[in-house]
Amino acid sequence: MNDVANAEAIFRAAVDRVDPARMIERAVRIESGELVVSSGAEGLRYGLGGIDRIFVTGMGKASAKMAAGLERALGDRISGGLVAVKEGHVEPLERVRLVEAGHPVPDGRSLAAAAAMLDLGASLGATLTERDLVIALVSGGGSAILCAPAPGLTLEDKIGTTRLLLASGATINEVNCVRKHLSAVKGGRLAAALAPASVLALILSDVIGDDLDAIASGPTVPDPTSYADALEIVRRYGIEPRLPVPVAARLRAGAAGGPGAPSETPKPGDPALARARTMLVGTNRLALAAAEAEAGRLGYNALVLSSRVAGEAREIAMTFLGIGKDIAASDFPVAKPACVIAGGETTVTLRGGGKGGRNQEMALAFMAALGRSPKDGEGLTFLSAGTDGNDGPTDAAGAAVGLGLYRSAVAAGLDPEAALADNDSYGFFSKAGGLVVTGPTNTNVCDVQVLIVT
């Protein structure tokens, strides 16, 4: 068996299963004069006799492909729309306008996209009414791609805050909690702005646990978090003193409440969201199930560990290494040839000035540890990669490693320990090999890890 090639094939099977266009086409159909939307046991029906127009909006890395699937499902029933995606994550569309914007740090295009969506009717030349339906296609990455600073804040304020959060080791849910309280579009505010039209959000999850309010910072759903939560997060990670002054002032004023305090995001039961509905159409678990099937087809005894892997990337790597050593020594918890599969989203606390992403950092940490005790690492192959095809600010999805790569890298004079200390996983793998490069996949359901033991 070529375990490295097989690990990548298993990962690609996971990505293929969560192709957004196909998932939307499976979920949306016209049936007996109704628009029927279903996913799993959940279903919604809209009588077409009560709908004058269907508009489409959306934001996130996967939203262009979701829009392509919706165009195929609904055709000329779509009256128009506007979808914002990460630069390069595009698809040919006929009835929906596509705009590109910055990610993971918002830019001027993010501002323009958010302004157009907050006033969607005007941007489409149509005043929204109660007989209109807006289908919002929401996927990960929308937090940066759609950026509307709250009153008193600037784009630079939000960019500075986002950079501090991303470098702090905060989880994506924590990052989004803060973002929602600095925004005029996140935390349910977009759905409120689209009233009186009905809003149907179709969501592709890129967060652990599939919390709807955390995906793209929840622009169409109620927000259970508060200013007090956001302030506690920036204090816990020690970044409050470094926040832009208007950001810190807004969080403190919101947490304190009282006259003149900034308004909270819409909460569950808010009448502003009474006509908004939500359906989850794609998750990391679907991707892991496909990976499991592919591993079995390739002849491995497959075990799906979890879809909720979280924590510091280099520490999670040690967990996978420990599992691999158990399997190698005693066929526990699954017999060789084994393939252990997991998914989720880890974090990286920046310690150096290198370039990389959480998946490459996890793979580098795994490989560096293999090098410390090579006799225990024979037959172990590990891959970690992002389903969106982007790992941090790099053109790689992740990396795949084993003892063979470690030995060839060291023989070439490369030092995995030094690269790890400098958070320079991309620099290391660019020279050593091992990068998993898919290009933008136009989907996004967190990350996938594949551990093979033979």
Residues 205, 97: one domain?
A: yes
Quick one: pLDDT at residue 233? 98
Domain for residue 198, yes or no? yes
pLDDT exceeds cutoff 90 at 284: yes
Residues 221 and 360 in one domain: no
Residue pLDDT, tens place only, 108-120:
999 999 999 999 8
**Residue 275: is its pLDDT beyond 90?**
yes
pLDDT for the residue 40: 80
Q: Are residues 317 and 272 in the same domain?
A: no
Residue 167 lies in a domain: no
Provide the pLDDT for residue 279.
95
For residue 374, give the CATH number of its domain. Answer: 3.40.1480.10
Q: Find the mean pLDDT for residues 52-81.
A: 96
Same domain, 189 and 324: no
**End position of a domain, from candidates 247, 282, 317:** 282
**Residue 9 domain flag:** no
At 48 the pLDDT is 96
Same domain (yes/no): 87, 49 = yes
User: Is this model's pTM higher than 0.85 or not?
Assistant: yes
Instruction: Kindly state whether residues 317 and 270 are assigned to the same domain.
Output: no
The DSSP code sequence of 397-452 is SEEEEEHHHHHHHHHTT--HHHHHHTT-HHHHHHHH--EE-----S----EEEEEE
Residue 204, domain CATH: 3.40.50.10180
Q: Which residues pair with 199 in a beta bridge?
A: 134, 276
Judge whether 243 lies within some domain. Answer: no
Provide the number of structural domains found in the chain: 2
Q: Is residue 276 part of a domain?
A: yes
395 and 437 share a domain? yes
pLDDT in tens, 211-237: 899 899 999 999 999 999 999 999 999
pLDDT (tens digit per residue) in 28-50:
999 999 999 998 878 999 999 99
Q: Which of 398, 416, 409 is nearest to 433 (CA)?
A: 409
Where a domain ends, among 282, 310, 330? Answer: 282
Is a pLDDT exceeding 70 seen at residue 399?
yes
Domain membership of residue 433 (yes or no) is: yes
Co-location of 190 and 325 in the same domain: no
Provide, rounded to the nearest whole percent, the portion of the chain with pLDDT above 90.
89
CA distances from 397 to 222, 383, 447 (A): 32, 10, 9
Q: Are residues 269 and 289 in the same domain?
A: no
Predicted confidence band of residue 1 (pLDDT cuts 50, 70, 90): low
Range of the domain at 208: 19-148+183-225+265-282
In a domain, 164, yes or no: no
User: What amino acid occupies position 412?
Assistant: A
Q: 57-61, 208-212, 301-305, 357-361: which has the minimum mean pLDDT?
A: 208-212
CA R_g for the chain:
23
From 86-95, 118-127, 320-329, the region with the lowest mean pLDDT: 118-127
| 407/272 same-domain check | no
Same-domain check for residues 437 and 381: yes
Residue 237 lies in a domain: no
Q: How far apart are CA 159 and CA 182, in angstroms?
A: 11
Do residues 66 and 137 make contact, with C-beta atoms less than 8 angstroms apart? yes
Residues 272 and 295 in one domain: no
pLDDT of the residue at 318: 98
